[in-house]
Structure 1
């Protein structure tokens, strides 16, 4: 049975931290593949701040093309919006019964997971791998009641899509915080008020 890590996100835009995390998780979890699940509409994100969903999907395609074990997953594009993770996981399990899926989330999301739609069922029925985010330590008390949660001691990278968007709006040249081709894509498509 293939082990698939699911890295959910708006990828607004995808950056080198996403790829480094996916690489680390693939090697140390380990997974056979990591799928980048692009969310057209995350209920916790301001829609006005998001680049068009198709642009974000295209950026993920550009960023992951050199690694055959990285796959793009656009399943949420065919599901009702906003995108609820539990619905996506159920659809993936039904569509790929021979795969074993594990959701990869940051420790910041774990500490807020009780706000997610149907979070009790999510925690009870689905495997979750948690990686550290700055300022959000994972304590044993947070996970001891769940056999479904494991912690990945990944490097902490303080790169965020927000930092990149804000820098681009300010006219900063942040080419090396995003994978090859992404900075030019953002400029050519005038995303995030770039010129």
Structure 2
């Protein structure tokens, strides 16, 4: 049985924080592989702010190509939108019965998990690994009773896709906040109003 960590996201764009977290989780959780599950449309995100889904998928491919244990999962591209995590997890379990999947989420998501579709099932039936996010202390989350939620004491990185998008739209040179090749992809494809 392979242990697979699932990092869900819009990856709009993927940045070095995503890769650092995936690297840390793979070594310390530990996982055999980390799958980057690209969401075409997260129900909590404004669709207008999203780069095209195919572009985001291609940026994840560029970012992960040098680590064979990092895989891209585009399963949600074939599921109805908006993407509900519970449906994706169910489909993954059916499609890959030899793998054990664990979601990797930030403490911000854990503290708001009751807003997720079918959150009670999510917490009861699926393994969840939580990492700290700035401003969302895990002490505020009641996970003491949970058999499915574990904490990963990963370094706290204050890099966000929002910061990168806003900076690029303002003409800032943010090459080193995104993985090698991704910045050129953003510029060449004029994403986030880059010129």
Q: TM-score range by the shorter chain?
A: over 0.9
Please show how residues 66-105 of structure 1 align to structure 2 within 5 Å.
66-105=66-105
Shift in CA distance, 145/58, structure 1 to aligned 2, threshold 3 Å: same
| C-alpha RMSD over aligned residues | 0.7
Residue pairs, 1:30-69, within 5 angstroms: 30-69=30-69
Q: Is the 8 A contact 2:130 2:150 kept in 1?
A: yes
Q: Residue deviations 1:143-190, cap 9 Å, x none?
A: 012100000000000000000000000000000000000111000000
Give the unaligned 5+ runs of structure 2.
none
**How many residues are matched?**
195
Evaluate the alpha carbon distance shift between residue 140 and residue 109 of structure 1 in structure 2; reply closer, same or farther with a 3 A threshold: closer
Q: Per-residue deviation at 1:140?
A: 7.4
Cα distance in 2, alignment partners of residues 60 and 35 from structure 1: 11
Output the TM-score relative to the length of structure 2. 0.99
Instruction: Please tell me whether the aligned partners of residues 111 and 141 of structure 2 are also in contact (alpha carbons under 8 angstroms).
Output: no
Match of 1:31, SS state, is coil
3-state SS, counterpart of residue 142 of structure 2? helix
Cross-structure match for 1:183: 183
- Tell me the alpha carbon deviations over residues 34-71 of structure 1, each in whole angstroms, 9 at most, x when there is no partner: 00000000000000000000000000000000000000
Could you tell me the TM-score, scaled by structure 1's length? 0.99
- What is the match of residue 151 of structure 1? 151
Q: Please say if 1:113 is aligned against 2:113.
A: yes
Q: Unaligned 5+ residue runs, structure 1?
A: none
Determine the C-alpha separation between the residues in 1 that align with 2:113 and 2:152: 17
SS at match of 1:142: coil
Aligned equivalents of 1:171, 1:183: Cα separation in 2: 13
Inter-partner Cα distance in structure 2 for 1:27 and 1:140 = 27
Q: Distance in 2 between matches of 1:141 and 1:35?
A: 26
Q: Residues of 1 paired with 2:18 and 2:137: CA distance?
A: 19
Greater than 2 Å deviation, 4+ residue runs? none
Q: Report the alpha carbon displacement of residue 132 of structure 1 after superposing the two structures with TM.
A: 0.3
> Following the alignment from structure 2 to structure 1, what is the Cα–Cα distance between the partners of residues 169 and 98?
44
